[in-house]
Structure 1
Amino acid sequence: MKQSPGDVPPMAPAVQEAYGPADLGAMPLFAGGFINFGHWQGIDLDRPLGEDDRIRSQRAMYRHVLGSVAPGEGLEALEVGCGRGLGCAVALEEYGYARVTGMDIHPQQLERARAGRPAGRDGQMRFARGAAEHMPFGDAEFDRVYSVEAAQHFRDLGAFAHETARVLRPGGRAAVTSFFVPDDDPARAGQLAGLLDSFASGLDVAHSIPELTGSLERAGLTGVRVTSIGASVWPGWDRWLSTMWEPGAWPRNFLRAYEGGILDYFTVTAHRPA
């Protein structure tokens, strides 16, 4: 059943701040405004990195995810947690979707997305306010649902999986990529909070891969496939962080968490049976 605008749950304070007044997308850390850690495969990490490399890595992350649910020609797609909408533009320009809808819980991000929408794309690119757990769309509206580095902010993976299955058309495909705990060890949340301020503050949630895959399967999605892409993410992300933070600064602990088996970066795909 379609959710009404009033069903949007309140944002966690850390999420409201990070994507509102703080505006992560305007920071050099996320050059280009895509706001993801980057897919660094093919980028030479042994030379000094520049802003062009950073933007290339973030665009490559979208290409990786969109490629995992291709083809897109003539289809309708939903991006959950669209931020500034740059990934929606990649989906339209490079994958041939007929229309892409960007959904985000943060009204300021949606304002930025609408302001930056390419000219002439009004009918092909739309933006809507909604939460991953409460999507403001009817049943079976989309052929593809994808989410790029937003799931770490979701509060309820079960509700997200249910909504994804609901808005997908029969035969539709879904893809989620972000950083997750690789196992169901209950100690992981405390370990991550001790290493990374984003987990301690509540900006990020220590969701596990078993939690996500189980939620997708219980929602009726099938063919759930998990792929670790950590080797293409963490070394490059840390190399970029090193241009701004010295060893010992908390953001540098992402690589430490990965090397310790506490955290990894995954792409998870599934589909709704026809």
Structure 2
Amino acid sequence: MTQCSGAAQHPIPPAVQEAYGPADLGAMPLFGGGFINFGYWQGIDLDQPLTEQDRISSQEAMYRHVLSSLAPVEGLRAVEVGSGLGAGAAVALAEYGFAHVTGMDIHPQQLKRAERANSVLLARRPKRLCFARGAAEDMPFGDGEFDCLYSVEAAQHFRDIGAFARETARVLRPGGRAVVAGFFVPGADPARAGRLAELLETFATGLDVAHTIPSLVTSLEQAGLTGVRVTSIGASVWPGWDRWLATMWEPGTWPRNFLRAFEEGTLDYFTVTAQRPTA
């Protein structure tokens, strides 16, 4: 493995081990192009039959939306928490001018796939990209090692959102910026976690955790990060995601309930930005 820092061994939750190991979620037709996210569908005509290229474009657009919130980033060092197959890290390097991107993932099989998928890029730019094994709650990096931290649709797998927030603050340099994109419970109502388990199999099996936006914001602030800003982007995610799901899943099947959960107010998709103070 091409390592930027020492690998940290950390227990992998069984459902995560299965989904990103033998099951290889990234190989499913639901995804494409090496990405594993629900997509940012703004600008894609949902009234027309969707193509695989539309699907790939939606996932690239998610990364562009997230990375643009960190700008300017020219010449900076970044870490992606939950980097999966490394497709997002490749976009970050190709389009945003980072000096270096570290892709960190908890799953060793995903890291091997990422290295295979990015073998040409790793060979051409060995000083600009590498992958490391680590958990969001226990990152194998030094204090203040990065200028930027971003995470795209991985936080639902984190078991301890408070530990993730503390690690984010630790690995960012003073003035460093972070952005987290993913699906969260909008409010603090504890009943919503149970409702998600009723609607969505991934919450029932424990693959996904029903973290709330208030808990994430509080955790980031308690870790010492400032300027925490929450933006809902659900209107650009859920209708398109459901439209794509409709090409493979019938109405009433559990994956179609993501849109239902959004319409009920039980789940939404957010970007959350924060900064480590300079002093």
Once the 2 structures are TM-superposed, how far is the Cα of residue 4 of structure 1 from its aligned partner?
A: 6.6
Q: Which residue of 1 aligns with 2:60?
A: 59
Q: Which residue of 2 aligns with 1:187?
A: 191
1:73 alignment partner, SS class: coil
The 2-side partners of 1:5 and 1:115 are apart by: 18
Q: Is the counterpart of residue 28 in structure 1 residue 32 in structure 2?
A: no
Q: Is the 8 A contact 1:75 1:99 kept in 2?
A: yes
Once the 2 structures are TM-superposed, how far is the Cα of residue 5 of structure 1 from its aligned partner?
A: 4.1
Matched AA of 2:79: L
Q: Which residue of 2 aligns with 1:269?
A: 273
Q: Is the 8 A contact 2:6 2:132 kept in 1?
A: no
Matched AA of 1:90: V
Compare 11-20 and 114-123 and name the one that shifted more.
Answer: 114-123
Query: Which aligned pairs between 1:239-254 and structure 2 lie closer than 5 A?
Result: 239-254=243-258
Matched AA of 1:128: A
The 1-side partners of 2:81 and 2:63 are apart by: 13
Q: Is the 8 A contact 1:184 1:208 kept in 2?
A: yes
The 1-side partners of 2:34 and 2:97 are apart by: 22
Q: Is the counterpart of residue 139 in structure 1 residue 143 in structure 2?
A: yes
Q: Which residue of 2 aligns with 1:37?
A: 38
CA displacement, residues 225-251 of structure 1 (integer Å, 9 cap, x when unaligned): 000000000000000000000001100
Gaps spanning 5+ residues in structure 2: where? none
Gaps spanning 5+ residues in structure 1: where? none
Identity of aligned residues (%): 75
Q: Which residue of 2 aligns with 1:97?
A: 98
The 2-side partners of 1:21 and 1:71 are apart by: 39
2:30 alignment partner, SS class: helix
Q: Which residue of 2 aligns with 1:80?
A: 81
Q: Is the 8 A contact 1:25 1:32 kept in 2?
A: no
Matched AA of 2:269: Y
CA displacement, residues 81-125 of structure 1 (integer Å, 9 cap, x when unaligned): 000001001111100000000000000000011112224022110
**Which residue of 133, 155, 158 corresponds with 1:154?**
158
Q: Is the 8 A contact 1:175 1:268 kept in 2?
A: yes
1:165 alignment partner, SS class: helix
The 2-side partners of 1:176 and 1:241 are apart by: 24
The 1-side partners of 2:100 and 2:199 are apart by: 41
Q: Is the 8 A contact 1:110 1:127 kept in 2?
A: yes
Q: Is the 8 A contact 1:177 1:265 kept in 2?
A: yes
The 2-side partners of 1:33 and 1:94 are apart by: 17
Matched AA of 1:185: D
CA displacement, residues 5-62 of structure 1 (integer Å, 9 cap, x when unaligned): 45x3311111001101111111110011210000000000000001000000000000
The 2-side partners of 1:259 and 1:47 are apart by: 22
RMSD over aligned CA atoms reads 1.0
TM-score (norm 2): 0.96
The 1-side partners of 2:116 and 2:33 are apart by: 15
The 1-side partners of 2:28 and 2:126 are apart by: 27
Q: Which residue of 1 aligns with 2:178?
A: 174
Q: Which residue of 2 aligns with 1:231?
A: 235
TM-score (norm 1): 0.97
How many pairs align? 271
Q: Which residue of 1 aligns with 2:70?
A: 69
Q: Which residue of 2 aligns with 1:16?
A: 17
The 2-side partners of 1:111 and 1:143 are apart by: 26
